Amino acid sequence: MSKQLVLSGLAGMLACAGVASAQTSLISFTYSDLAASYVNGGTMATRIFQSNAVAIAGGLQTGGDVSRIDISPNQTANFLTGFRAGATAANVNITMNIDTVITPLGGNNTILATGTVTLTDDDGDQIVGTISGRWTDLGAGFDSFQGLITSASINALAGGDNTHFNGLGSGPPNSFVYAGLPLTGLTGSLVELQLTPGIFFDANFGAGNNVSSQASGILVPTPGTLGLIGLGALAGCRRRRRA
């Protein structure tokens, strides 16, 4: 799959999803070359999609970053390409249960999905949220997911640095500070794109971890938490740093 096409599609969808909340965005994230897989069960409970960070010899090498963008300059935790090959707790997991009913919408087949997203930093802190949305068959084998993230929280787990979300593989600061952030009550959006020719959640895929999936999202404060923080104005879209 053309990574340029994938990232271009993600950027466009994320821009559309984030327009309404651009001035109050707190956290943004993007990961490329997640390994996607799907088990085609008989019910929604057994129809399970996953995408995970991997470092497969001769295969997919996940990379990404997570940024705090309500402050200037932005602070970024970088996860360089192939970071899962090292001794680190850093990881990504997106898990969804896929509905059994395909619904035509806007000329494309779509299917509902619900699940969770978990981003883990170098020493085990996690950003966790519930996701709900819709996969769309874009044609030419491309599948896109667009959905909401709700009930999201930042969980500083015991051990390590519990004041920052920490990246790895590059020099300091390579992290963002939690001070001033609401750690609960976050919401946002998630987009994901992948290529599965001839399959739109009607057969297993991902055996051998050869399906590359790209995911991006933003997190914002819910209205009830807006008064708890001072939000800096964003001059424009930040430039992604990639290995």
Query: CA 70 to CA 238: how far, in whole Å?
Result: 11
Q: Do the beta carbons of residue 26 and residue 228 sit within 8 Å?
A: no
SS3 of residue 23 by DSSP: helix
Written as tens digits, the pLDDT of the chain (243 aa) is 444 444 444 444 444 444 334 448 999 999 999 999 999 999 999 999 999 999 999 999 999 999 999 999 999 999 999 999 989 999 999 999 999 999 999 999 999 999 999 999 999 999 999 999 999 999 999 999 999 999 999 999 877 899 999 999 767 789 999 999 999 999 999 999 999 999 999 999 998 778 999 999 999 998 744 433 333 322 233 334 444
Q: What's the confidence (pLDDT) of residue 23?
A: 46
Query: CA 81 to CA 62: how far, in whole Å?
Result: 5
pTM for the whole structure: 0.84
Element of type H or E holding 17: helix 3-18
Q: What's the confidence (pLDDT) of residue 160?
A: 84
